[in-house]
Amino acid sequence: MADGILAKLNGASSAEEFFALLGVDYDAKIVNVARLHILRRMGQYLAGEDFTGAADDVVVKRCTAVLERAYADFVASTPIDQRVFKVLKDAVAPQAKPTPTLVQLGTLK
The predicted model scores a pTM of 0.72
What is the sign of the dihedral through the CA atoms of 72, 16, 19 and 11?
A: negative
Largest CA distance in the chain: 78
DSSP state, 105?
A: G
CB < 8 Å & 24+ apart, contacts of 69-72: 69/45, 70/38, 70/39, 70/41, 70/42, 70/44, 70/45, 71/19, 71/24, 71/26, 71/30, 71/38
pLDDT (tens digit per residue) in 17-34:
999 999 999 999 999 988
What pLDDT does residue 105 have?
Answer: 75
Does residue 63 contact residue 7 with C-beta atoms inside 8 Å? no
What pLDDT does residue 1 have?
Answer: 40
What pLDDT does residue 93 have?
Answer: 57
Q: Residues in the chain with pLDDT < 70? A: 1-3, 78-95, 109
C-alpha–C-alpha distance, residues 39 and 30, integer Å: 13
Percent of the chain with pLDDT over 70: 79
